[in-house]
Structure 1
């Protein structure tokens, strides 16, 4: 039999646990001659230490030991969620069915009786290692699938250019946060932000420069937001921020920080330098006329309309704004 390759490309490690030194020596010599790397322990506590230091690929575990017996060791290893799957073959001089059942119920994957039949022992070791390596491959595939699913999830809720939440997901977040706010009595603010005269920038400098402006504006909004805030790209040059546990006045302060940061920022695309401003509308719940997520959003949009038509580069609160024309 040739050396069995481990998943990481090194030699396969087998932990032999037995309180009888002669048994350890016999198993170590036999398995080493077959190309395995053998690690040994003479009691249950030492076995757990070896596993904690570097999990082996398989454990040959004697049942009858002083202190922690093989059943207890197997149970502790199998109950440790931080450990990978490690096949455990219980080695026992007992042959009663109840003893075998107890061993398997403790988490062991197989058993073999003393005195050893080495051909049988090696066959069981090979079988358990095949299961181990297949399980490791399955775990790796599952981790890769989980990572892909997370990336797909992120793509489904994220705007590709700005890396903010996209329009669809923002609406879902707004409904969720509004319901939470209505349950808890905490306020929630919505800030609508629109870059001023953005179309003329695109017409003058081209869409690549416009994309730089959109991306850097999104970065400004993200850096201004708290960890619990939810900024998104609402569409075109329009952005939104959902601010949990925030009233209209605090929402205005957030919008003013964004407005000032955009006004003071130089947007650069190669040799092109552009200055921009942004108009903002702020609304909050609870407040008159904001009793639904749609009404809250409409109130913030009406305030944004007033900011645009009141001279741009300003922040308007919904409580101060006139209704936008239909």
Structure 2
């Protein structure tokens, strides 16, 4: 077996951003069915924070975070016919490995991409935009010209939901902090300050209710949002950021989230004509590799045509992963990208 030398961000143990360290690492040849990529850029996500904080089941340390990466295939495992050696690809990991100069991924979760597309925009697609696209097109089909409510609408997945929902002709109401409301308005959304009485604000904009709510906050936010649904509406829960406090594991925040969790029986949903759906990318994507490739290919085509333009909150070198996590905890508009210099 041959090895490639490089660098990786390692989480040494559960805790804060200070436990992220860049270490010299050796990367083995890929296993059968997999490829190894020389990474050009990696995305930073809340899932990485959950991994660092010990909130992802079956995590053992040390571990390298990173769900999404773009780069060039530099080794091909046995049985792989596509992608080819030297081909540029966009990839989705199993939730680990992206923060590195090299990463091994299943060939089933790669999509070839043109050499001229910018790496930062591309790396916003496999997690943020794919999650948004699949929720809009596969989980909760909102009626044409319907109204959707997006919580955390200035964040990574939230801003993708706003852009893609608008692209599909939907009316969008988005909640965000006061400082980020102008950005939402520029995207064409009706912006509501989440720090105020956002329920009242949404009711004023949609007196008859909204068709779909996309909630990555969870807890009491889900409960209050359910009451805002129009007949036939759906609540889609895709995250529990309310379980963190300042980007850190918090027993008190987790307890509040659990206490506020919406509980509805099947009979109750039937009688109200409403639906609740859950979307967990870490579960849905591995179960449906064909859908992953189809949907990501469509998103790359939209990017290439200029139909979508991912918001990049920050571009930082791999060595500043700690800062990336601190920025994410403080709230950002769009995607944070780690740019990777060649090994």
Q: Which has the higher contact order (CA 8 A, sep 6+)?
A: 2
What TM-score does the superposition give when structure 1 sets the normalisation length? 0.23
What TM-score does the superposition give when structure 2 sets the normalisation length? 0.22
Between structure 1 and structure 2, the one with the greater Rg is 1
